[in-house]
Amino acid sequence: MADVQAVVQLCDPSLLDLCGDSESDCSEAARMVLHLTDSRRVQKILGRQLFVLDSMMSLLEGLESAQQLMTQPCPPQPDGRARRRWKALKAENRLVVEETETLLTSLQDRSQQIQDRRHTLTQLVQQLDSKKQQSKQLEESLQKAQNALQSCDHQLTQLKAESEVVLGQLMVWQRIRDELQAYVSAAQDIMQITLLSFNQSELCVELRPRPCSHLSSNELEPLRLSVTWSHDDRFTLQVRSSIT
């Protein structure tokens, strides 16, 4: 059983995993190894017996009579060269087996190192895929941000153009306001302006000229000015005398 365990330890663990590790499988494997070992021993014994039998048959075939078998001297004992050669081959075979076992151990260590490196490379590939996915997401976010920035630049350009238009209109209105203020100042120098009424759609004022030195106040009649406007920016101006 110890020989069986030694043989099992020399096997590749990955191959043992494929065969399973149940107790029944181990028992079956042990019985099979014992059977093969016994069969090998029986074959060696049978081979030796067949060799002896073949030698006897060859000797008998070379005899002419049974009397010659009794009178012929025994063949000389074989020298020990064959046995020494057999021992040398056995020792050489043992060395080869030891070298093979050493190589198997080295190969198993090398295989384990390769498996460890393969596991490390697999983890690195997974990390690289994760980094690629994150980089792809960052590129998409960057593209969206660039598109949003371009849209903001376009809107900013439009707003700048609109602001320039509004600024131009404002400058026009300021010029009109200055002109109106000049007209109002000139009108105030020669007449009195009184606000009569004001609401969301109408403005009514009274214009009373200031009397000159050569004219009496009775000769100058006041005027009422009424300005109305609608929602479509249309203005209506009405002028009437205060004396009916």
On the 0-12 / 13-18 / 19+ scale of CB atoms within 10 A, 62 is exposed
pLDDT digits (tens, 9 = 90+) for 103-158: 888 888 999 999 999 999 999 999 999 999 999 999 999 999 999 999 999 999 99
- 59 touches 65 (CB < 8 A): no
The predicted-structure confidence for 67-78, as pLDDT tens digits, reads as follows 766 776 666 555
Look at 209 and 219; give whichever has higher pLDDT. Answer: 209
**Could you give the C-alpha distances from 197 to 48, 135, 137, 222, in angstroms and in order?**
146, 72, 68, 16
| CB within 8 Å of 219: residues ≥ 6 apart | none
Q: Tokens 């009274």 map to which residue? A: 206
